[in-house]
């Protein structure tokens, strides 16, 4: 079947892993001759890359799908694909629910999109959700940005947090080799990318599935070793990583971040709850005291480091007092940013079956109280930038003000300043900050550092 002049559309839900997968799948589709269409209604192939972390994420997918399934009755050659975590969780059940679907494919199958579509074009309805070893990929991703890029370092998750669907939908941990990670980064450096975010659901687990150990019994390849191995990739000016797990986070990693100039002083370390009993019920494997010690150590090495995290309110059995322990942790630490969520029972997870579920009212009341505190603390944290000169990597024009460009500080604060995007895109600019808000800054350019040509 010819694919010339055929258009595809992708909508991505969920986390950075899904965004990275979507970019690879877009690369595959373009390789097959498809052209991108912003508008799904003009596309011949629609791919929803889905998320099931909470019920509302999953429901959103069904409402998008419903609309396109209807369209398929008028345009029978429309190809409908559901990829990602809802696909993995629901599998064939999704075909029963939406019979118009052509392809249901789990996240581990992203790199196989071409083969799977060939089977669809040969007339099959395809479900690909079996556990597979993820093959190193050969297609060029079609990346959304020309300045910043994601690089997977470890897929999957071997933890069993009692609220979480990720291990069910993303499979067991699989680390890429240090050589493969470095090769991808070198290619990105050559293409002019300035910032790379290394990705893993539990990035501290990197390497534990790779062969080899040091004489002291340490894994031969830890995430810290990986940072030392890749930090000097030419052209790449900044390195970030996510997500860290307090259970495995080490001082050695903190030291590496302090030592390596390209590694940004920003740490995303979800704590989920500030109460030890709840942490235990969640099977997180650390106490709030240990979490505080990690943050203290980071601040000892890098006093200005930005700290962000995720937290859940209304976990089964959470008392008012236990919730207040979360508030207290947030108040004491002062996060630069915190992603908060009300607990959502997920199919196939232990906590969903417990009887001590809280009411929606209690959950949303606690979420509001926590969010209020998060805003107050983030605004406090932003104060320290006032009058300071920060290095900003320019990514885009400010969509709300065309005379301004926007980018991020090393600490990951979104920053706006006057300038021409055509001149500044991809440049590191010294910006004097003269306006601060809870989650963003405004300033004026002082000096543009020409990135070293490669």
Question: Which residue ranges make up the annotated binding site for [4Fe-4S] cluster?
Answer: 15, 51, 85, 157, 161, 164
Among 17, 85, 117, 161, binds ligand SF4 (CB under 6 A): 161
248 backbone φψ class: left, alpha, beta (φ>0; ψ -120 to 50): alpha
We find the least distance from the C-beta atom of residue 191 to ligand F3S, in angstroms, to be 26
Among 25, 117, 157, 298, binds ligand SF4 (CB under 6 A): 157
CA distance 54 to 35: 32
Binding of ligand F3S by 94 (CB under 6 A): no
186 backbone φψ class: left, alpha, beta (φ>0; ψ -120 to 50): alpha
We find the least distance from the C-beta atom of residue 397 to ligand SAH, in angstroms, to be 30
Written as one string, the DSSP assignment of 356-374 is: -PPPHHHHHHHHHHHHHHH
- What SS3 class is residue 125? coil
Among 35, 100, 251, 310, binds ligand SAH (CB under 6 A): 310
Q: Which does 312 bind (CB under 5 to 8 A by kind): ligand SAH, ligand F3S, ligand SF4, none?
A: ligand SAH
Show the CA angle centred on residue 338, arms to residues 337 and 341, nearest 5°: 155
CA dist 349 → 73, 165, 206 (Å): 36, 6, 24
Binding of ligand F3S by 18 (CB under 6 A): yes
Among 50, 129, 243, 288, binds ligand SAH (CB under 6 A): 243
Q: Peptide bond preceding 89: is omega within 30 degrees of 0, i.e. cis? A: no
Cβ atoms of 94 and 101 closer than 8 Å: yes
Phi first, then psi, for residue 68 (nearest 5°) are -75, -30
Among 106, 167, 314, 426, binds ligand SF4 (CB under 6 A): 167
Residue 238: its H or E element:
strand 238-242
Within 8 A by CB and 6+ apart from 303, the residues are none
Binding of ligand SAH by 60 (CB under 6 A): no
Considering the complex, state which of residue 200 and residue 426 has its C-beta at the smaller distance from ligand SF4: 200
Considering the complex, state which of residue 165 and residue 307 has its C-beta at the smaller distance from ligand F3S: 165
Binding of ligand SF4 by 254 (CB under 6 A): no
Q: Of the ranges 66-74, 116-124, 214-222, 338-346, which one interacts with ligand SAH (CB under 6 A)? A: 338-346
Binding of ligand SAH by 54 (CB under 6 A): yes
Q: List residues binding ligand F3S (CB under 6 A).
A: 14-15, 17-18, 51-53, 84-85, 165-166, 169-170
């Amino acid at each position: 079947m010819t694919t010339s002049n055929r258009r595809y559309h992708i909508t991505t839900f969920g986390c950075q892993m899904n965004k990275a997968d979507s970019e690879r799948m877009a690369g595959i589709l373009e390789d097959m001759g498809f052209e991108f269409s912003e508008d799904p209604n003009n596309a011949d192939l629609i791919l929803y890359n889905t998320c099931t972390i909470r019920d509302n994420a999953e429901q959103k997918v069904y409402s998008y799908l419903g609309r396109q399934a209807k369209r398929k009755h008028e345009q029978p050659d429309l190809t409908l694909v559901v990829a990602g975590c809802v696909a993995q969780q629901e599998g064939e059940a999704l075909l029963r629910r939406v019979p118009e679907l052509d392809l249901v494919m789990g996240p581990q199958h992203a790199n196989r999109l071409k083969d799977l579509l060939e089977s669809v074009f040969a007339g099959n309805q395809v479900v690909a959700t079996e556990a597979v070893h993820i093959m190193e990929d050969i297609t060029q991703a079609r990346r959304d940005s020309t300045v910043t890029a994601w690089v997977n370092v470890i897929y999957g998750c071997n933890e069993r947090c009692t609220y979480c669907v990720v291990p069910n939908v993303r499979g067991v941990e699989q680390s890429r080799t240090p050589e493969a990670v470095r090769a991808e980064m070198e290619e990105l450096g050559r293409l002019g990318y300035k910032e790379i975010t290394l990705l893993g659901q539990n990035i501290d687990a990197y390497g534990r599935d790779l062969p080899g150990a040091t004489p002291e019994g340490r894994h031969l390849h830890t995430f810290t070793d990986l940072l030392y191995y890749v930090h000097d990739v030419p052209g790449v000016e900044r390195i970030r990583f996510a997500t860290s797990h307090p259970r495995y986070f080490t001082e050695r990693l903190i030291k590496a971040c302090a030592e390596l100039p390209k590694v940004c002083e920003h740490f995303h370390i979800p704590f989920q709850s500030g109460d030890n009993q709840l942490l235990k019920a969640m099977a997180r494997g650390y106490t709030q005291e240990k979490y505080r010690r990690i943050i203290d150590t980071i601040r000892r090495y890098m006093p200005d480091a930005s700290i962000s995290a995720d937290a859940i309110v209304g976990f089964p059995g959470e008392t008012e007092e236990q919730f207040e322990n979360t508030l207290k942790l947030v108040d004491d630490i002062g996060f630069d940013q915190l992603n908060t969520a009300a607990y959502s029972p997920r199919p196939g997870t232990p906590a969903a079956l417990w009887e001590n579920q809280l009411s929606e009212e209690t959950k949303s009341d606690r979420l509001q109280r926590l969010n209020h505190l998060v805003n107050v603390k983030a605004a406090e944290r932003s104060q320290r930038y006032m009058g300071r000169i920060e290095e900003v990597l320019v990514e885009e024009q400010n969509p709300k003000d065309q005379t301004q460009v926007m980018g991020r500080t090393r600490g990951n604060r979104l920053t706006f300043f006057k300038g021409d995007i055509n001149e500044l895109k991809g440049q590191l600019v010294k910006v004097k900050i003269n306006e601060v808000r809870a989650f963003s800054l405004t300033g004026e350019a002082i000096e543009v550092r020409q990135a070293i040509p490669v």
